[in-house]
Amino acid sequence: MAGKLGQAERDLHGVIAAIATAIDPRGEPDCARSIALARFLLANGCDGLNVLGTTGEATSFSLDQRRRVMNAYAESGLPLTRMMVGTGAAALADAITLTRHAAELGFAGALVLPPFYYKGVSDDGLIAVIEAILSATAARPVPLYLYHFPAQSGLPWHVALVRRLLQSFGDRIVGLKDSSGDMAYAREAAAVAPGFRVFPSTEAALPEARSCPFAGCISATANLNADLCARAYRAGDTAALSEAVAIRKLFDGTPLVPGIKALLAHIHGDTQWARVAPPLFGYPVADRAAAIAGYDGVRAKRVA
C-alpha cells in the first residue's frame, strides 16, 4: 500500500465535537451556518471537529450534498488539519468517492462506517471494502479512522477484525471512533497496537484520555459544552467534567440529534438550528423545555 503517514497526520486529539450540520428551509445543508458553528467551537474549546458524522446527519444527505459541505469547510479558511470527515456509505463506490474527495481537500482523516445495509457479512467482506478504499486513495493517503457504531450500522469493527486490518494495512488505519458506549471494548481496541488512536463518544472518557489509553473523545454534546470539556481535558478540572457530563445526560432517553440541534437553537438564539433532515423529526416541545432548563441550570451554577 503506497504512502506512509507522518506523525503530524496522526495528530487529531483531545476534545472533538461531532459537529451538527445546519439545514435550510429547502432541506439542503446550510453551509454558512455550519461553518459559523465550526468557527465558534474551534475558538471555544474544541481541539478538532468530526464533520458529517452521525450528529452531522451525513447518511441523510446525498453524495452531492456531502461533497458540497466538505467543499464549504475547505473554502472556509478553517484548519482541515483539525478535522476528520465521515466518508462511509452503503455503496462502496460512494465511500471511495467521498474518501478520495476528503484526501484531495486535505482533511486530517476520513471516518469510515462499515457498509451498513447487509447485516451479518463476513470479516473478509469488510476487509475487502477497506482494501478498496485504501487502494483508491493510495496516491493521496488520507488517514482512515474506523467508525464503530453497531447499534446504528448493524456491523461492528470488532477487535479481532481491527487487528487483522492493522496487520494488513498498518500505517493507513490510524484510529477508531467508538460510539458503542462499551468502555471495555474501547480499552481493548486502544491496546491493539501502539499509537492506535481511539476516541470514545462520551466526555466521561476524558480523564483516561489525559493519562492514556484514549486519544480524546468525539462527542455530539461537545457542540454544547466544548468549553467545559476543554477544562476537563487540559487541566483535569473535575467540576467542569461533572458539568459537561450533566449536559450530556439531559438527552438520556430522548432523540439525541434533534435534542442537540434544539439546544443549539437556544444557545445561539437562532431557531433555524432546530431543523433536522428526514427521517429525523423535531425535538418534542416538552423535551426541549426540559433540556433548556437543565442546560441553563448547569451554566448558572458555573456563573454563580
Q: Where are the alpha helices (DSSP H) in the chain?
A: 31-43, 63-75, 92-105, 123-136, 150-153, 159-169, 183-190, 206-211, 222-235, 238-249, 256-267, 285-303
Active site residue 261: no
Q: Cis link prior to 284 (omega < 30° from 0)?
A: no
Which of the following is catalytic: 73, 177, 185, 233?
177
Report domain extents, the chain.
7-236
The pTM of this model reads 0.94
The 8-class DSSP code of residue 36 comes to H
> pLDDT tens-digit profile of 150-187?
999 999 999 999 999 999 998 899 999 999 999 999 99
Q: Cα 177–180–184 angle (5° rounding)? A: 90
One digit per residue, the tens of pLDDT, for the chain of length 304 reads: 334 444 444 579 999 999 999 999 999 999 999 999 999 999 999 999 999 999 999 999 999 999 999 999 999 999 999 999 999 999 999 999 999 999 999 999 999 999 999 999 999 999 999 999 999 999 999 999 999 999 999 999 999 999 999 999 988 999 999 999 999 999 999 999 999 999 999 999 999 999 889 999 999 999 999 999 999 999 999 999 999 999 999 999 999 999 999 999 999 999 999 999 999 999 999 999 999 999 999 999 866 5
Task: Tell me the per-residue pLDDT of 234-263, one tens digit each, with 9 for 90 and over.
Answer: 999 999 999 999 999 999 999 999 999 999
Residue 147 annotated in active site: yes
Sign of CA dihedral 76, 68, 224, 95: negative
Between CA 269 and CA 278 the distance in angstroms is: 23
The owner of cell 492493522 is 166
Annotated catalytic residue within 4, 73, 117, 147: 147
Residue-wise pLDDT for 180-194, tens only, equals 999 999 999 999 999
Domain at 7-236, CATH from 3.30.30.60, 3.20.20.70, 1.10.3720.10, 3.50.50.60: 3.20.20.70
Q: Tell me what pLDDT residue 303 has.
A: 62
